[in-house]
Each structure stands twice: as C-alpha cells, then as structure tokens.
Amino acid sequence: MRVILGLILVLLVSVPASATWSADHDPRLIVPGQRIGGVDLGMRRGMVDAINRNSLCQVLAVYDAVGDSTWLETNWGGGCLVSDEIQVGLPFESAARAFGRPDRILQDARYPHAAAVWIVYEREGIAFRVLGWHSGTTIQVIAVFPRLAARNAGHGRVAGPSDVSPLGAQAVKIK
C-alpha cells in the first residue's frame, strides 16, 4: 500500500505544472473551476437533469442548501475530457504534468493490490479520483468545484471528496 501511494506521490512531485486552460464551449470539455461538458457549477437540479438526458457524459452534482450545484463529477471516459490526454480511463501522468503538485491527496479506498485516492487542486478547482497499483495509475473520476479564491470570497463551504465518497476520504500527508 505504501508503495502504491509512494508511486503516486513521486509522480506528482517529479513533474512541473505547465497547463493553461481554455473555456471553449466544446460540449465535451471539462473546465476546472467552471464546468463539465454542458453542466456549469451553480446550475440547479432541473437544468442538470435536462442536460444529462442528452449529454455525451453523465454528470453527478452535489447541491448547496439553496439548490445550486457546488461539486460536479463524471466517470465517463471519452465523453468529457480536460484534454485528449486527461480524461477518465487514462493514466494520471498527463494530469500530474499539467497541474503539478496537488493541494491535497485524500485516501478514498484500499483494495488488496491497489488504492484509490482523490488528488485535489483547490486553486484550479479540479480533483481526480485515481486508482493506483504497482504497475500504474488510472483516472476513475474527474470533479470540478469553485476555485479556492472563489470560495474564500464568501461563497461558503463547498462539498468535496470526503462528502461524496461512500467511504469517506482520509488525508494523506504530502511531503
């Protein structure tokens, strides 16, 4: 288990951040801190449900007390993507290169020969649930949420990986 988490940490620390993100209106695009496909943060349940009926990828939303979506996630590979190299079902290495060192890594689940963690980039407004084992990593889920600066500006608490994970994610120390 330590070997798996160590592999993920080494991968994260060893690659520089170098990405810039476009807010194109491509219906498949995941835009950190903004949207997944046609579903924007802040949309209400009815709008999210309507978009999901005809979407290339289904989006799960978590809503705040007034009904605005504050956390969006997808586990549909190929339907929605950050880029051709960063999408569900592909190795995490490209995302690590693009985003650099994460703000948090939360352990989500342990399996006999693998571990699942949430790798969270709060300043960017994106998180990845990554399955890691001795031979590599795979992105299982991509989530977007308001960037840290937006939350600090008075938007209140935002649901995160520990709120939506069925097992409750636990923090892992980043060296």
The domain limits of the chain are 2-172
Nearest to 57 by CA among 40, 37, 34, 82: 37
CATH of the domain spanning 2-172: 2.60.460
Q: What mean pLDDT is predicted for residues 64-70?
A: 95
pLDDT at 161: 55
Percent residues over pLDDT 70 in the chain? 70
Q: For residues 82 and 32, is the Cβ–Cβ distance under 8 A?
A: yes
Residue 67: is its pLDDT beyond 70?
Answer: yes
Higher pLDDT residue, 55 or 164? Answer: 55
Higher pLDDT residue, 55 or 25? Answer: 55
Q: Tell me the per-residue pLDDT of 117-130, one tens digit each, with 9 for 90 and over.
A: 999 999 999 999 99
Q: Which residue has the tokens 């935002």?
A: 158
pLDDT at 22: 44
Q: Measured between alpha carbons, how far is 101 from 65 in angstroms, rounded to an integer?
A: 32
Q: What is the pTM of this model?
A: 0.76
Strands 114-121 and 104-111: antiparallel
Q: For residues 140 and 71, is the Cβ–Cβ distance under 8 A?
A: no
Residue 160: is its pLDDT beyond 80?
Answer: no
Residue 16: is its pLDDT beyond 60?
Answer: no
pLDDT classification of 1: cutoffs 50, 70, 90: low
Q: For residues 126 and 142, is the Cβ–Cβ distance under 8 A?
A: yes
Radius of gyration of the chain (CA): 15
pLDDT at 95: 97
Percent residues over pLDDT 90 in the chain? 61
- The amino acid present at 43, given as its one-letter code, is M
